[in-house]
Chains A and B, each alone.
Chain A
Amino acid sequence: MDELDLRIRNHVYASFVRDGVAPTPEVAAAALGSDAKWVEDAYRRLHDAHALVLQPDGTEIRMLNPFSAVETSYHVEAGGRSWFANCAWDALGIPAALHADGRIDSACPDCGEQLELEVQDGELVRGHGLLVHFVVPAHRWWEDIAFT
C-alpha cells in the first residue's frame, strides 16, 4: 500500500467517524484536491488490500472495519453516536477503536431474542454470559468477508 493510498484510507476513516457517512470517490477527491477517477482506483486497491470493503461490482463502501457503512443487526452506541458493525467482533471493536464506552444491541440468530452488551472502561460489564461463535477459520476470513 503506497503513501497516497494510505492517505486516502486514513481520510475515508476520519470522514466516516466525523460524519457517519462513507465518502464517495467524488467527495473524497474533492476533499483531498484529487481526481475522482484516481480516488476510485485507489478505493479498489484498498479493497484488494483488505483496508476497506466495497460493495460487489462498485465503488460504494460497505465496510470500514470495524464499522459498517450499511445497516446491520449489530447496533452500537459509542462515543455519543450510533453505528452499525459487521459482526460480533466488530461490534465490540467499535468502542475499542473509538476508545470509548459502548452499548451493543444485537439478536441471537437462533431464537431472535434481543442481546445486549455493554463495555465500560474497556471491560465487558453486561453480556458476559453470551457465547460467540466463529464459523469460518482464520485463513479463509477474506474469501467472503461479508459471510465471515
Chain B
Amino acid sequence: MVFLRSEEHLERWLAANGWEPGSSMSATKLNALARAWWWSRLDPDWRPRPPAESQTILDGLGLTGAFWQLA
C-alpha cells in the first residue's frame, strides 16, 4: 500500500510497473482504517483477531466487494 500525490501519479506508477489497478482510497479513510485495525495491537492481553472481525472492520468502512474479501 502506497501514498501517491494524485490519480495522475497513480496511473503513471501503475503503467510504469505494468500493474492492473487495485483499489484506491483517501488518506483520511486509510487513517480511519488504521485506527480500527491497529488500535489494540499493543494491548498486553492481545489475542489474534478472528478473521470475521477483521472483515467487519473493512465492511464498516465501506470496503466491500471481491477485492476486500479476506478469504
Kindly state whether residue B56 has any CB partner on chain A within 8 Å: no
How many angstroms from the CA of A11 to the CA of B5 in the assembled complex? 38
Closest to A50 in B: B48
If the complex has contacts A93-B41, A134-B1, A137-B22, are A13 and B7 also in contact, measured as CB distance less than 8 A?
no
Chain B's interface size range is 35 or more
The prevalent SS among residues of B at the interface is mixed
Chain A residues within an 8 Å CB radius of B37: 89, 93, 96
Of B1, B41, B66, B70, which contacts A132 at CB under 8 A?
Answer: B1
Kindly state whether residue B25 has any CB partner on chain A within 8 Å: yes
Chain A's interface size range is 35 or more
Are the CB atoms of A66 and B1 closer together than 8 Å? no
Q: Give A residues with C-beta under 8 Å from B.
A: 1, 6, 9-10, 13-14, 17, 49, 51, 65-66, 87-99, 106, 108-111, 113, 115, 117, 119, 122-124, 127-139, 141, 148
Q: 19 additional contacts, CB 8 Å, given A108-B3, A131-B27, A138-B58?
A: A1-B47, A65-B41, A88-B30, A89-B33, A93-B37, A95-B34, A96-B38, A108-B5, A109-B13, A122-B31, A128-B27, A128-B28, A130-B3, A130-B26, A131-B26, A133-B4, A136-B22, A137-B22, A138-B67
Q: Give B residues with C-beta under 8 Å from A.
A: 1-7, 9-10, 12-14, 16, 19-31, 33-35, 37-39, 41-42, 44-48, 58, 66-71
